[in-house]
Amino acid sequence: MFTTNFYKRQLKNQISLKSISKSSWAIVDQALFAGSNFIVNIILARWMSQTEYGAFSLAFSIFLLLGIIQSSFWTEPLLIFGSNLFQKRLINYYSILKSLQWKFTLTISLLLITFGIYLNKIDEKELSYAIWGTSIASPFILHMWITRRYCYLIMKPRIAAYGGLTYMLLFVPSAILVGKVFKLNIITAFLLMGVASYLSALAINTKLPLNNKTSKKLFILPFIYRNHWKYGSWSFLAGIFYWVFGNINYILLPYYESLEVVASYKALTNLILPIININVAITGLLIPIFSRAKSDNLLKEKLKTITKLLATSSIIYWIFLILFGDIILKWLYNETYLELTFLLVILGISPICSAITNIYISVLRTFEKSKTITTVYLFGSLLTLGLGVLLIPYYGLVGAIVSFVFTNLVLMLSFYIKVSKLLNRPLEMIK
């Protein structure tokens, strides 16, 4: 009896250690990619003109919209159906999805090239270059993204982290080298991003078991289309609302102001990305934690503890920005954006709100309340759009930041109310 219990405990500990190890590799993977993009964004903001950097930021927000399409109809269904419905033919299923994605992204690239030609003809030179750069890089970046997600599906996040390291070692030094020797402009920045992404995906593939001996005829494409569309349509809707909430200011600012103001907005938001990426990586691990806590009647306690932790760290980061914001801006961007230091006091509130919001979303996902999340983000997207239209024409950059932060506050409170009702009592948000 004692021996049996001992081995059960040992097995449980081994499983726990494996879970911790895989979670750690997932965080490392996210950190490597987020860190690479953060560093290169700083380099671009330093070396490009404000007009160029504004165009780059606008084009990248458009690319993120393509990322939502991919996530909704490719990567999320891959993670779900690949672990059950198509598990016995996983490699075959994955290869079909990659083939379909290449066809989709290349078609989108042709459309973006056409749109870039139109922008060039109406004398929007920088923006046309940015759109062309997006058209070149997006197929390769999205290819890398689905390759990384496949690593998570087969429970090999270490391989994804290996790809992240490859991406960083290729992208960051090459961007610095091109900037020093030649000129790092919009086209070359996107080109380097695309090359680094493709080579990173190749590096991942060398570590994956992808020998495919199963005929693709075993799959009926309409069956795949039907399942992916059924899942992806709701996910895409939620993703669109989230994209509007996070990116609509990149569309409104050049319409009412200029690309230079877009550059200022992006330069400021770069400073809150480190804490946001850390919080996103942590909250991405919360669903299994909350699921276990729910079954043990410990969900409220876990929720309170994690909320304290992430809210406190975000508040400390906010105070750090208030105290040293001018030094950080000067160090990162020289004198270019130094006059905008005062806006960090307002902008620094948003990571606090988003951290708490992501925790509450994890609770709702634990209870499979995807419709609730979609509804709240619909409200948030309409709110940020309405505030942007009202404030940006009169207050420019300040109006954009106020609308973004205020919407973050409202979303946090909205999710708080939803979770409070779900758990049948008011939650203490910070205490």
Lowest-confidence region among 21-25, 235-239, 257-261: 21-25
For range 297-301, the mean pLDDT: 82
Written as one letter, the residue type at 244 is: V
Query: In sequence order, what are the residues at sequence separation of 6 or more whose Cβ sits closer than 8 angstroms to the Cβ of residue 20?
Result: none
pTM summary value:
0.85
Q: What is the pLDDT of residues 83-127, one digit of tens each?
A: 777 777 788 888 889 999 999 999 999 999 999 999 999 988 899
Confidence label for 386 from pLDDT (cuts 50, 70 and 90): very high
Compute the distance between CA of residue 125 and CA of residue 210 in angstroms, rounded to an integer.
43
Structure tokens at 409: 């506050």
Compute the distance between CA of residue 411 and CA of residue 380 in angstroms, rounded to an integer.
6
Compute the distance between CA of residue 392 and CA of residue 255 in angstroms, rounded to an integer.
10
Judge whether residue 7 has pLDDT over 50: no
Exposure of 115 by Cβ count < 10 A (0-12 exposed, 13-18 middle, 19+ buried)?
middle
Q: What is the pLDDT of residues 264-285, one digit of tens each?
A: 999 999 999 989 988 887 877 7
Confidence label for 296 from pLDDT (cuts 50, 70 and 90): low
Compute the distance between CA of residue 333 and CA of residue 340 in angstroms, rounded to an integer.
12
Compute the distance between CA of residue 155 and CA of residue 151 in angstroms, rounded to an integer.
6
Confidence label for 220 from pLDDT (cuts 50, 70 and 90): low
Compute the distance between CA of residue 30 and CA of residue 35 in angstroms, rounded to an integer.
8
H or E element at residue 46 = helix 2-47
Compute the distance between CA of residue 262 and CA of residue 265 in angstroms, rounded to an integer.
5
Confidence label for 309 from pLDDT (cuts 50, 70 and 90): very high
Q: Give the total residue count for the chain.
A: 431
Is-contact 334 388, C-beta < 8 A?
A: no
Is-contact 30 277, C-beta < 8 A?
A: yes
Is-contact 98 153, C-beta < 8 A?
A: no
Exposure of 398 by Cβ count < 10 A (0-12 exposed, 13-18 middle, 19+ buried)?
middle
For range 11-19, the mean pLDDT: 44
Is-contact 362 290, C-beta < 8 A?
A: yes
- Residue 21, pLDDT score: 57
For tokens 């991003």, name the residue.
193
Q: What is the pLDDT of residues 173-210, one digit of tens each?
A: 998 898 888 788 889 999 999 999 999 999 998 888 76
Compute the distance between CA of residue 254 and CA of residue 388 in angstroms, rounded to an integer.
12
Confidence label for 15 from pLDDT (cuts 50, 70 and 90): very low
**How many whole angstroms from its chain centre is CA 48?**
24
DSSP, collapsed to helix, strand or coil, labels residue 335 as: coil
From residue 222, give the alpha-carbon distance in Å to each of 69, 229, 230.
19, 10, 12
DSSP, collapsed to helix, strand or coil, labels residue 369 as: coil
Query: In sequence order, what are the residues at sequence separation of 6 or more whose Cβ sits closer than 8 angstroms to the Cβ of residue 12?
Result: none
The overall average pLDDT reported for the chain is 85
- Residue 22, pLDDT score: 57
